[in-house]
């Protein structure tokens, strides 16, 4: 994957400047967070595990469960540490039986064995969604937060949909095609636009 397709300090600054010029709504949002920084998670297992925990719940709820999981793993969540925790203990910290099964499957899969950076977005999605319990949304979080791909639009993400409705005064949940139209001008920086829109509705930075 070419370096200019990956988000780093240099490409982030370029993308922000282009979005400011293209979209006055984003311009006003970005101005509110001048010192906020996007950060990638270098650990593929942790990114996917945290995405599983965060499926279909709020950022705040996911963060609370993740903190409890860290305590169970003695502040270091690894495949070996997670595999030693009983299903009953995992249920007590707020994980559903389904998510527990997904996390156990992720441990067996061991994502660290794959050279993800060499794969295209479509290839990453194909590999990741082959893991039980991981669908398109989790694959998109992986592309954003582990691989730092610059043009990802998680168009089913509840937080993004809420943020677009709030800031653009439209109802994208009634007309999903609207999000495609609105996001067209964000290309090729839809990841950055998404990140700032998340920030506009929740001061807790989204991170996986």
Chunked into runs of 10 residues, the chain (208 residues) has average pLDDT values of: 82 96 97 89 94 88 94 93 94 96 94 94 95 92 96 93 94 85 96 96 78
Closest Cα partner for 156 from 139, 133, 169? 139
**What 8-state DSSP symbol labels residue 39?**
-
Cβ burial of 37 (10 Å; 0-12, 13-18, 19+) is exposed
As given in the structure block, the two tokens for residue 123 are 């290839």
CA–CA distance, 116 with 42 (Å, rounded to integer): 11
- Class of the CATH domain delimited by 44-145: mainly alpha
Distance, CA of 19 to chain centre: 20
Domain ranges in the chain are: 3-9+20-36+152-201, 44-145
**Whose CA is closest to 7, among 38, 30, 33?**
38
pLDDT score for 205? 72
Token pair for 58: 């709020």
Radius of gyration of the chain (CA): 17
* Burial group, residue 10, by CB count within 10 angstroms (0-12, 13-18, 19+): exposed
Residue in the structure block whose two tokens are 């007309």: 175
End-to-end CA distance of the chain: 21
Q: What's residue 133's pLDDT?
A: 87
Give the model's pLDDT for residue 181. 93
- Do 44-145 and 3-9+20-36+152-201 have the same topology in CATH? no
The pLDDT of residue 108? 93
What kind of fold does domain 3-9+20-36+152-201 have according to CATH? Endonuclease Iii, domain 2 (1.10.1670)
Q: How far is CA 2 from CA 92, 149, 194, in A?
A: 44, 10, 21
Confidence (pLDDT) at 1: 64
Question: What pLDDT sits at residue 208?
Answer: 80
Sequence length of the chain is 208
Cβ atoms within 10 A of the Cβ of 202, count?
14
**107-144 b/e (C-beta count within 10 Å ≥ 16 → b):** bebebeeeebeebebeebbebbeebebbeebbbbbbbb
pLDDT at 2: 66
Give me the pLDDT at residue 164, please: 96
């Amino acid at each position: 994957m070419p370096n200019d397709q990956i988000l780093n300090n240099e490409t982030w600054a370029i993308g922000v400047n282009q979005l400011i010029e293209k979209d006055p709504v984003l311009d006003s949002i970005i101005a509110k967070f001048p010192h906020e920084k996007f950060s990638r998670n270098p650990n593929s297992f942790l990114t996917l595990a945290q995405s599983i925990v965060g499926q279909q719940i709020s950022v705040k709820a996911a963060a609370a469960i993740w903190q409890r999981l860290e305590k169970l793993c003695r502040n270091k969540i690894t495949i070996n540490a997670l595999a030693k925790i009983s299903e009953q203990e995992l249920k007590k910290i707020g994980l559903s039986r389904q998510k527990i099964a997904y996390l156990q499957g992720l441990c067996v899969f061991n994502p660290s064995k794959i050279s993800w950076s060499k794969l295209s977005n479509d290839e990453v999605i194909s590999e990741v969604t082959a893991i039980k319990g991981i669908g398109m949304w989790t694959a998109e979080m992986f592309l954003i937060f582990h691989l730092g791909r610059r043009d990802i639009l998680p168009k089913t993400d509840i937080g993004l949909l809420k943020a677009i409705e709030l800031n653009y005064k439209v109802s994208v949940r009634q007309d999903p095609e609207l999000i495609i139209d609105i996001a067209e001008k964000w290309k090729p920086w839809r990841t950055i636009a998404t990140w700032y829109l998340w920030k506009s509705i929740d001061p807790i930075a989204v991170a996986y």
